[in-house]
Amino acid sequence: MDDSPARRWATRSRGGQLYWRGLTMSRTVGRLGVPLVFAALLVWTFAAPVTADPADSANSALDGTPIRSVMVRLPQTAATSTQPLQVLLVLHGMGGNGPDFSRDLFDAADRYGWVVVAPTIEYGDWTNPDVVAHEDPLLIQALSSYLDGLPQLAGTPMRRQLLILGHSRGAQLAHRFAEFRPERVLAVAAISAGTYTMPEDANTFPFGVQDMQQYAGHPFDAARFDNVALWVAVGGQDTNPADLPHQWDNVEGSTRVQRAQAFEAALQEMGSNATLQVFAGAHHELTGEMRVAACDFLERQVIAAAPRRDLFAFDGLN
């Protein structure tokens, strides 16, 4: 077998996409920068997913976190785009992984020109509030730091405000990301979350935001959070209380439907741009209908926010 440097750089996977291996360079630089150079030279018609290994020193932001890898996939229009690219952060649920969970979003990402960032996370016990209170701030900080460096690593400017799509445990992390870092988030699609952090001072984290200073380094910024568009979705048949931890019952109800309704009501009360959609026949699942509705919602927010200057404030290249 040819083991030349060129061979070691790239391994073709099923589906015609390339996964890049680092040599003396950082794996992140090799897997992000080199595909863009080759894209310009070879005029690729597909985007290259790239994997960032948290063991790599270039990814120190991920060290000591449950993030096992990050897949980044550029849209097919990346090579010809004259505008900063829009990032979609995709968060899987318990036992999932970034590449598998994000795969069904690739068509929408190409259609809308999104960069898909899909971490694989080894979540802890999501039913234990103490674990959540430790884990989610750590994940949010690590992902924020990673995303801050992504434009430089990829060699292309990207819009600073994110779109986030999460399902189940990923939806829990998605809406908390927006609560911790509302200035970085344009819109969130949170599908079938099992627990919510209410944007209210009545309870401490992870039930509420009363003591967010302790976890985020700053108080909850209600004014900025109001600018984040949130689409909350749940299956109408996702109503088994036995599926959920009961520590949240007194705050937001005992089923995923009740909790989604309580979260949306709290958002409406504070004047946020929030929408709840219940998919009548769905159980605890991510259906094609949910996926399409989520992507349509997120793209509408990009279009609606186009006149806003802060959307186009972007992380560029030094």
Convert the pLDDT of each residue in 205-229 to its tens digit: 999 999 999 999 999 999 999 999 9
d(CA 66, CA 108) in angstroms, rounded, equals 28
pLDDT given for residue 80 in this prediction:
77
Beta strands in 92-161 (DSSP E): 114-121, 158-159
Of the pLDDT bands very low, low, confident and very high (cuts 50, 70, 90), residue 29 is: very low
Neighbours of 81 (CB within 10 A): 15
Neighbours of 63 (CB within 10 A): 12
74: phi then psi, degrees, rounded to nearest 5: -85, 145
Please report, for the chain, the start and end positions of each structural domain, with discontinuous segments joined by +.
15-308
Average pLDDT (182-193) is 98
The chain-wide mean pLDDT, for the chain, equals 83
Residue with tokens 């229009």, as numbered in its chain: 77
Residue 15 has pLDDT above 80, yes or no: no
d(CA 37, CA 34) in angstroms, rounded, equals 5
Q: Is the peptide bond before 219 cis (omega within 30 degrees of 0)?
A: no
Point out the least confidently predicted range of 51-55, 66-70, 114-118, 301-305: 51-55
Point out the least confidently predicted range of 60-74, 87-101, 103-117, 259-273: 60-74
Q: What is the dotted CATH code of the domain comprising 15-308? A: 3.40.50.1820
Of residues 77 and 168, which shows the higher confidence score? 168
Query: What pLDDT, in 10s, does the model give residues 295-305?
Result: 999 999 999 98
Average pLDDT (146-154) is 90
d(CA 285, CA 69) in angstroms, rounded, equals 24
Of residues 25 and 113, which shows the higher confidence score? 113
Q: What DSSP string runs through 252-312?
A: H-SSHHHHHHHHHHHHHHTT-EEEEEEETT--SS--HHHHHHHHHHHHHHHHHTTT-HHHH
Query: What pLDDT, in 10s, does the model give residues 232-283?
Result: 999 999 999 999 999 999 999 999 999 999 999 999 999 999 999 999 999 9
Question: Both tokens of residue 283?
Answer: 């159980």
Of the pLDDT bands very low, low, confident and very high (cuts 50, 70, 90), residue 306 is: confident
Average pLDDT (117-124) is 98
pLDDT given for residue 317 in this prediction:
52
* Whether the Cβ atoms of residue 110 and residue 75 lie closer than 8 Å to each other: yes
- Kindly report the pTM of this predicted structure: 0.83
User: C-alpha angle 246/133/275, rounded to 5°?
Assistant: 70
d(CA 36, CA 317) in angstroms, rounded, equals 14
Give the length of the chain.
Answer: 318
